[in-house]
A and B are shown apart, each in its own frame.
Chain A
Amino acid sequence: MSTSVNAPLELYPLHLGRYDESRDVTGRMRAGWRDLLTRLQNMAPKALNQRLAWIDHSLQENGVIFRPHGETESHPWLLDPLPLILSSKEWGVLAQAVAQRARLFDAILADLYGPQRLLTQGLLPPALIFGQHGFLWPCFGLRPVAGVFLHRYAVDLVRSPDGRWWAIADHTQSPVGLGYALENRLLVSRVFSEAFRELQVQRLAGFFREMQQSMATWAPVEPGEQPFAVMLTNGPSDPTYFEQAYLARYLGYPLVEGQDLTVRAETVFLKTLNGLKRVHTIARRVPDENCDPLELRSESLSGIPGLLTALRAQRVMVANVPGSGVLESTALMGFLPAIATSLLGEPLKLPSVATWWCGEAPALDYVCKHLDSLVLKPAYPGQDFPTTFGPALGETERARLLERIAAQPHAYVAQELITPSLAPVFDRRNKGRLEPWQVGLRLFAIATPQGYRVMPGGLTRVGPIERLPLIPMRRGGATKDTWVLTEGMVESLTLIKNRLGPVDLVRSGKNLSSRVVENLFWFGRYCERMDVAARLLRLMLLRVVDVDEVHDHEIESLARIGVELEILAPTQADRPLLQRMLDTLFGLEEENGVLRSIQNVLRTAGQMRERFSADHWHSLNRLQRSLQVRRDDLSDVLEGLDRVVMLSASIAGYSFDNMTRDPGWHFLVIGRRLERLTHLCRTLARILDDPDSGRLGGLDWLLELTDSLITYRSRYSRQAEWLPLLDLILFDATNPHAMAFQVRSIGRYLSVLDAEVPLGPEVGETALPNLERIAARILAFDPMRLIALDRESAVALRTELEALLQAAYALSDALSRKFFSHIEAHGHQTLGI
């Protein structure tokens, strides 16, 4: 589905009783909108079409996905190209109000985790705080670095018909959306680049620079230390992992998981290839209660045991401080005006939607009488109660709900329903038309030493009018870029380095975590495995399509290799070979099957997504779709395999052409070489075991499998024979598919690595010399014996190849023991009674 237009844009009639973002009540277009829409109307439909299609294409290519809370499926991120435009005057007021609200929440956190005067003065009901699982008692009394509890804050706003903005939800734990807002901006500003410049839209990069600077300024460094920040993620299973990887790359912070960090004597360290490196600042995207399994929620072992001791000692800064989620309760909203007066001595500038906490008798009374015009929410986040719309309730549901509220009034909160404003959205069905969708706006603030700063932009979410509940992130909703106009000069700056030209896959070797290195090693191995599997199946299928006697024999030889390499299921009486091939191709049963290998490549890549450039990621994304073919159409299947082989080459190309040669890269390449070496050993050992191989129809298929046919032909212009063939794929160190080449590369890369990260005795003095010694024996094999390759010679060579294979496995194990995770990633809980 793509957005496109055939005719000049057509605006919808104004809706009575709704604020329209683009036009005032007289139908006159508001500042900024006029310029943008006129420009679009004057644009040739074809040109506009192209730009709109480019957005959809880019989102898909960049793999921008989103998984709504509580759902298992990811959805593509939908971006409506028309931005929401806010005037500089309106923005000034709004930004101040959001900054004040952030300041207020920071002060509330400091009070709740300290003197709790808000409770003793009666400004907040203790039930609303102590009743929440989100109030973390182990954090009570904690004084964070610089006294800042709330580093990042986001608020969801809607605009009522009279044009005022109202806060409907606050995000104080680890707000989601900054990365998505950035991605939206990059695409929309590129599509409408002329209008973007002309309208003097405020840039976002300054906001992120301030975020980096604040984190660096406050970092609790010791004299001589450089501040070091990381972004803490739950890993690829997190619904917003895309955004986390995106932001980490944008800010230049390593993306780490709990098991990558360790606490030693109140100090947090990252486990890197070069040992422990001190971490001063953690931008966290894991939930409050998962931060420290020692003191918080011990069922979740994914956090960092001891983190709270480092926080108490002010040896690390965590943004936001664990326990900040307690403020996400909707029920707090009604108490904010009085708290603002008490804590800040100022009236609250950004009003919340009218809110009634049912724990108060008069509020309960009101809610029971006016249920039909209210929306009901849980007072405690995480409570088992869905947002419920009063107007949508039937008679019995209504009665049941009232009963439920009466049983535990303090667990419920009601809010006024606001009719949100409308903004034009490209109609995805009737091309060329704009339709009005409801608008929700998420704004973001960060703490800086100069006070809270609000990002001049935001994440605008839109949804169709007919859906009463405004939940546009779900299926059917979309997002928009948010343009804040300015009257002065626009600051132009970008932190993004990866849009133009070739870029590095790994940006810095110094802070490589052991986990990333392990992933790179396996990424290298899986890429090779995928390549071999795809090649083998392609060779077989080509011969199935083009039937002749020689081919039949070759298919059998290839099938034996396939089974040996665990690419193909073993022979089964009731399953014809073609069926086995197709099952293998599209199924996951074989350890090294094509689809399985593709998934392994994508999985390992996904674990270190922040390390891949956009272009590199495009290839990986295409890989995911490469086998979406009609299974009953062999030519379609073959095309799919062609795509896999091509993408495999392009991914390898990126790795070799665009990656800095840091230790991580060396592990990737060593992984790839080791994998190729094992395939070669297994393949040849299998063939040598089978005296019939090569008798009928020759060994051309083996040359094809090892991608050495062209070289062979150019050298010998005749059918494959044992001696020249073995010379090419075993002894020729210039052939990147030869055994000699693999062993030599492995030795060379390991010795380069040794200079930066010492290999240690197991790798350097045992495993590697052993591999090289066996390879040298093979290289010294008497060529005369290879000419006819009698039985005895074949067995002798096979034995050596099998020894080489074991040596390769041993080297891989030794590397993994030395450099990767040494023991299980997560700890166990122990309890003494």
Chain B
Amino acid sequence: MVRYRVEHTTRYEYGGSVILSQQLAHPSPRAWPWQETLNACWQLEPEPSWRHRGFDAFDNPVEWFAYYLPHTELHVHLSLDVAVHAHRPPCLEGGIDVHTLRERLSYHGTQPLPEDVVAQRYAFESPHIRIKRELAAYAAECCPPDVPVALAAAALMHKIHEEFTFDPTATTVSTPVMEVLAQKRGVCQDFAHLMIACLRSLGIPARYMSGYLLTQPPPGQPRLVGADATHAWVAVYAPGVCDHDWIEFDPTNDLLPDTEHIAMAYGRDFSDVSPLRGIILGGGDHRPHVAVTVTPWSDFSEEGPDISG
């Protein structure tokens, strides 16, 4: 088990006065079997005109907030302490194979397994995910029908990591997945979307995971890519693998997440879990400054960090 302090700051300094602003944010992690939230301190400045806590359709905690008076900046700060337990499955063999899963998920007019119905929420197109023959063809060699789903997904993750270049200048938050496939460059969000789109095009449900990565690795280990911002990876529906139904894969780093990934939320794709999305009236230039640091408690003094606020 590893304890972390996450500091995530988003700062908007608008080019002009914003007269109305409506925002939707994911202010704290959802409950995960392998992760405890020790403290989540979520601060907004200025204080909004209205705010409301709740859960989204996928049960992630969300906060809606709004400003009805003119303002020129917005600071959002999340300070988070979590404990992450090792949960990487010891092996990927076993579990259901690709063909059997597809067969199980197709409709037969009979009562399906409840978990299969839930899994199918993540099996089709969504705002950032397309289902296309080209995507299925790209992944086909990794996913023959008789191979266990988890192994097939691992092969696909390797292939993407092998063939794609990490390049923060190549894409934006709204680059279509087909364009990512064509140019073979992108960032963690693009690789996660691509892997999800490939799997869904083959009929395998896959979720988009959002969260953070340890910023500075322990001595002797390489620094993980994408650690200075929010991170994205994938969870694949592979029932029967070592008591897990969903197995996580990080195509950006070509590994199975364990204790260095801090998970916040999941959804069908980025659009469901974006940390902070809003609609503003006025404001001129509105590019945010985002800063993320993830520090293990071991880097602080013996008693751990000050968690009082």
Task: Check B279–A832 contact: CB distance below 8 A.
Answer: no
- A81: chain B residues at CB < 8 Å are none
A280-316 contacts to B, CB under 8 A, are 293-295, 297-298, 301, 305-306, 309, 312
- The yes or no answer to B221 lying at the interface (CB within 8 A) is no
Specify which of A263, A293, A312, A832 is in contact with B275 (CB 8 Å cutoff).
A832
Quote the shortest CB–CB distance from A277 to chain B (angstroms).
16
Task: Check B281–A833 contact: CB distance below 8 A.
Answer: no
- Of the stretches A130-138, A210-218, A484-492, A795-803, the one at the interface is A130-138
- The yes or no answer to B223 lying at the interface (CB within 8 A) is no
- The yes or no answer to B224 lying at the interface (CB within 8 A) is no
Specify which of A131, A293, A822, A827 is in contact with B125 (CB 8 Å cutoff).
A131
Task: Check A127–B279 contact: CB distance below 8 A.
Answer: no
Task: Check B268–A137 contact: CB distance below 8 A.
Answer: yes
Interface string of B250-286 (1 = CB under 8 A from A): 0000000000000000001001101111111111001
Task: Check B19–A823 contact: CB distance below 8 A.
Answer: yes
- Of the stretches B37-45, B102-110, B300-308, the one at the interface is B102-110
C-alpha gap A120/B279 in the complex (Å) = 36
Specify which of A120, A262, A294 is in contact with B277 (CB 8 Å cutoff).
A294
- A305: chain B residues at CB < 8 Å are 22, 279
Specify which of A297, A407, A828 is in contact with B283 (CB 8 Å cutoff).
A828
C-alpha gap A67/B278 in the complex (Å) = 34
Quote the shortest CB–CB distance from B66 to chain A (angstroms).
7
Quote the shortest CB–CB distance from A495 to chain B (angstroms).
36
- The yes or no answer to A573 lying at the interface (CB within 8 A) is no
Residue of A139, A828, A832 most packed against chain B (CB within 10 A): A832
- The yes or no answer to A119 lying at the interface (CB within 8 A) is yes
Task: Check A832–B120 contact: CB distance below 8 A.
Answer: no
- The yes or no answer to A163 lying at the interface (CB within 8 A) is no
- The yes or no answer to A264 lying at the interface (CB within 8 A) is yes
B7-57 contacts to A, CB under 8 A, are 10, 12, 19-20, 22-25, 49-50, 52, 54, 56-57
Specify which of B12, B107, B275, B280 is in contact with A833 (CB 8 Å cutoff).
B275
Interface string of A233-276 (1 = CB under 8 A from B): 00000000000000000000000000000111110000000000
Task: Check B111–A122 contact: CB distance below 8 A.
Answer: yes
- A131: chain B residues at CB < 8 Å are 123-125
- A360: chain B residues at CB < 8 Å are 107-109
- The yes or no answer to B114 lying at the interface (CB within 8 A) is yes
- The yes or no answer to A208 lying at the interface (CB within 8 A) is no
Quote the shortest CB–CB distance from B145 to chain A (angstroms).
16
- The yes or no answer to A824 lying at the interface (CB within 8 A) is yes
- B79: chain A residues at CB < 8 Å are none
Interface residues on A, range: 35 or more
Residue of B20, B54, B268 most packed against chain A (CB within 10 A): B20
- The count of residues in chain B whose C-beta lies closer than 8 Å to any C-beta of chain A is 56
Given A120-B114, A266-B52, the answer on whether A306 and B22 have CB atoms closer than 8 Å is: yes
Quote the shortest CB–CB distance from A464 to chain B (angstroms).
39
With CB as the reference atom, state the residue of chain A lying closest to B111.
A122
C-alpha gap A298/B128 in the complex (Å) = 12
C-alpha gap A297/B279 in the complex (Å) = 12
Given A130-B121, A265-B49, the answer on whether A828 and B279 have CB atoms closer than 8 Å is: yes
Task: Check B66–A306 contact: CB distance below 8 A.
Answer: yes
Task: Check B277–A830 contact: CB distance below 8 A.
Answer: yes
- The yes or no answer to A714 lying at the interface (CB within 8 A) is no
C-alpha gap A137/B126 in the complex (Å) = 10
- The yes or no answer to A141 lying at the interface (CB within 8 A) is yes
Task: Check B117–A359 contact: CB distance below 8 A.
Answer: no
- A263: chain B residues at CB < 8 Å are 22, 66
Task: Check A301–B279 contact: CB distance below 8 A.
Answer: yes
- The yes or no answer to A831 lying at the interface (CB within 8 A) is yes
Task: Check B275–A137 contact: CB distance below 8 A.
Answer: no
C-alpha gap A408/B203 in the complex (Å) = 10
With CB as the reference atom, state the residue of chain A lying closest to B11.
A832
Given A127-B107, A833-B173, the answer on whether A827 and B50 have CB atoms closer than 8 Å is: no
Task: Check B279–A831 contact: CB distance below 8 A.
Answer: no
Task: Check B274–A832 contact: CB distance below 8 A.
Answer: yes
Quote the shortest CB–CB distance from B297 to chain A (angstroms).
26
Given A829-B279, A832-B276, the answer on whether A126 and B133 have CB atoms closer than 8 Å is: no
- The yes or no answer to A140 lying at the interface (CB within 8 A) is yes
Specify which of A138, A262, A298 is in contact with B20 (CB 8 Å cutoff).
A262
Task: Check A122–B123 contact: CB distance below 8 A.
Answer: no
Task: Check A829–B290 contact: CB distance below 8 A.
Answer: no
B76-111 contacts to A, CB under 8 A, are 76, 106-111
Given A120-B112, A127-B124, A137-B268, the answer on whether A830 and B288 have CB atoms closer than 8 Å is: yes
- 22 A-B residue pairings within 8 Å (CB atoms): A116-B117, A122-B112, A130-B121, A137-B268, A264-B50, A265-B66, A293-B279, A294-B23, A294-B278, A297-B127, A359-B106, A407-B133, A408-B131, A822-B19, A823-B19, A827-B22, A829-B278, A830-B286, A832-B274, A832-B275, A832-B290, A833-B230
Which 6 residue pairs across A and B have the least CB separation, nearest first?
A832-B276, A125-B107, A140-B57, A305-B279, A126-B120, A131-B124
